[in-house]
């Protein structure tokens, strides 16, 4: 029989609910991003071209992950609002709608991988390392469903408060990838293709574990049965209103890496891209607390909004921001102080001390890229929680592209400050955009208080 204890634990105190959902998610996401770091670690041992190729293709991989996260965010938001409004049957129906959307997205990615992957790689400016890019990227695109499905399923588990089942398969995936990478890359002499194959095999194993709970043990709160499916275009619309912007936001994060790669390439060359690839891995890790707490914010703010409970919504905004800010600043401080030791691990596999030392210098600068991002991230995820996905997207575009990349281009290219200007401009734009986003969600919070504050 399904256990309602998880549901009850996320509809009460927002702080307890966020802690319950966020901290295990932070741990699992750290391990998941460690996959990319481990890939870089072992691929660096092949040669610098292979490492640069990984830097070029990784944004495309993150686009796939982002699309899965987008559908998951849409499902999480709608299901959470249904839970807050005590509409459990509609929540079960939304689960099946989410699965169908996942299948459609997977087919689209498959078509792109078959017909357009070569063109995308050339468009990214990676024609010089296209063989390495294809070796890693083809299997990722062709078997993209093993990344999409676990992502969406985990989001549904979070919507019912079952954080263990949302995170444990991801932990298993990360551990398996860490084990399989050296075996496939060097033990079986598969090279960079082995890194891609290890990622696919590990993710598939984690998803099989999820399927065991759903269809064999059958003790999840929500039912993944098509007998609950009642086609409702309104549900598809509600999911897409959040998932399309949320998925686009993840694509924007990848576009940022692509644009930075391009700007770095024309201002400093391919070796700088390789060093940046190492540093950017750690910058992505520093963003994980904001992302994990933000995912929890979608659920908790969605429940509060669905129940028209302003006090819980207000507490969610405040606590999410402070918690993610404190953790992010702590991580940034560690990375700044120990940048050479952290990046030094890559010297073991690459044997290129100059590349590693430059990566440490870049890391020391880019830690300031994430310092204030918790303000903008809270705003974006809270908007997703209440179903205002396009407002979330607008804030992300403003923060990541309009401000961050515009400043990077102006300072690096227009003002001829070189690669230093590229990094500095990205940092300035990111921090300004983060504060603008928080002002917007706070105005929304005040309007919510005016309408429902007296009744919550």
Closest Cα partner for 445 from 309, 326, 343?
Answer: 309
Closest Cα partner for 435 from 389, 369, 366, 374?
Answer: 374
Place of tokens 């290890």: 198
Max intra-chain CA distance, the chain: 66
Q: Note the pLDDT of residue 1.
A: 44
How many other CB atoms are there within 10 angstroms of residue 390's CB atom?
A: 14
Distance between CA atoms of residues 67 and 148, nearest Å:
7
Closest Cα partner for 255 from 415, 381, 426?
Answer: 426
Q: Note the pLDDT of residue 5.
A: 65
Tokens describing residue 232: 């409702």
pLDDT tens for each residue of 78-130 = 888 888 778 888 888 988 999 999 999 999 999 988 888 888 888 877 778 88
3-state secondary structure 98-118: HHHHHHHHHHHHHHHHHHHHH
Contacts of 2 (CB under 8 A, 6+ apart): 219, 220, 221
For residue 169, the SS3 value is: helix
Block mean pLDDT (10 aa), the chain, length 456 = 61 83 75 69 79 79 81 85 82 90 93 88 81 88 92 87 84 87 91 90 94 89 82 86 76 81 88 84 81 85 87 93 92 91 68 80 91 90 87 88 92 93 94 94 92 66
Distance between CA atoms of residues 39 and 43, nearest Å:
6
Torsion (CA) 267, 397, 71, 237 in degrees, nearest 10: -150
Distance between CA atoms of residues 146 and 109, nearest Å:
12
Q: Note the pLDDT of residue 4.
A: 59
């Amino acid at each position: 029989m399904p256990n309602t204890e998880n549901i009850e634990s996320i509809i009460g105190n927002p702080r307890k609910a966020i802690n319950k959902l966020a901290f295990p998610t932070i741990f699992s996401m750290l391990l998941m991003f460690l996959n990319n770091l481990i890939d870089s670690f072992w691929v660096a041992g092949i040669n610098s071209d292979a490492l640069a190729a990984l830097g070029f293709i990784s944004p495309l991989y993150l686009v796939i992950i982002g699309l899965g996260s987008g559908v998951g965010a849409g499902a999480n938001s709608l299901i959470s609002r249904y839970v807050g409004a005590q509409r459990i049957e509609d929540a079960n129906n939304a689960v099946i709608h989410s699965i169908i959307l996942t299948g459609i997205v997977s087919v689209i990615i498959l078509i792109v991988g078959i017909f357009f992957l070569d063109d995308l790689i050339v468009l990214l400016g990676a024609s010089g390392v296209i063989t390495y890019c294809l070796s890693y990227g083809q299997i990722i695109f062709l078997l993209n469903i093993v990344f999409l499905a676990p992502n969406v399923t985990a989001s549904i588990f979070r919507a019912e408060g079952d954080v263990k089942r949302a995170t444990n398969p991801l932990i298993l995936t990360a551990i398996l990838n860490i084990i399989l990478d050296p075996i496939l890359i060097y033990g079986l002499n598969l090279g960079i293709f082995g890194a891609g194959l290890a990622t696919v095999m590990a993710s598939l194993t984690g998803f099989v574990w999820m399927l065991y709970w759903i269809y064999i043990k059958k003790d999840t709160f929500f039912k993944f049965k098509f007998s609950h499916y009642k086609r409702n275009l309104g549900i598809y619309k509600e999911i897409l209103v959040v998932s399309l912007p949320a998925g686009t936001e993840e694509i924007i994060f990848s576009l940022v890496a692509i644009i930075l790669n391009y700007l770095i390439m024309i201002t400093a060359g391919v070796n700088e891209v390789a060093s940046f690839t190492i540093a950017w891995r750690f910058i992505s890790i520093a963003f994980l607390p904001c992302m994990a707490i933000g995912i929890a914010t979608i659920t908790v703010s969605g429940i509060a909004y669905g129940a028209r409970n302003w006090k819980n919504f207000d507490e969610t905004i405040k606590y999410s921001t402070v918690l993610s800010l404190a953790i992010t600043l702590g991580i940034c401080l560690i990375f700044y102080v120990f940048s050479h030791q952290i990046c030094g691990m890559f010297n073991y596999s690459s044997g290129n001390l100059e590349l590693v030392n430059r990566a440490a210098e870049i890391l020391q600068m880019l830690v300031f890229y994430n310092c204030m991002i918790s303000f903008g991230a809270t705003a974006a995820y809270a908007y997703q929680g209440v179903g205002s996905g396009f407002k979330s997207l607008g804030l992300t575009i403003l923060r990541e592209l309009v401000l961050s990349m515009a400043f990077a281009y102006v300072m690096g290219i227009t003002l001829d400050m070189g690669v230093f200007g590229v990094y500095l401009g990205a940092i300035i734009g990111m921090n300004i955009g983060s504060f603008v986003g928080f002002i917007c969600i706070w105005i929304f919070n005040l309007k919510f208080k005016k309408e429902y504050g007296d009744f919550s």
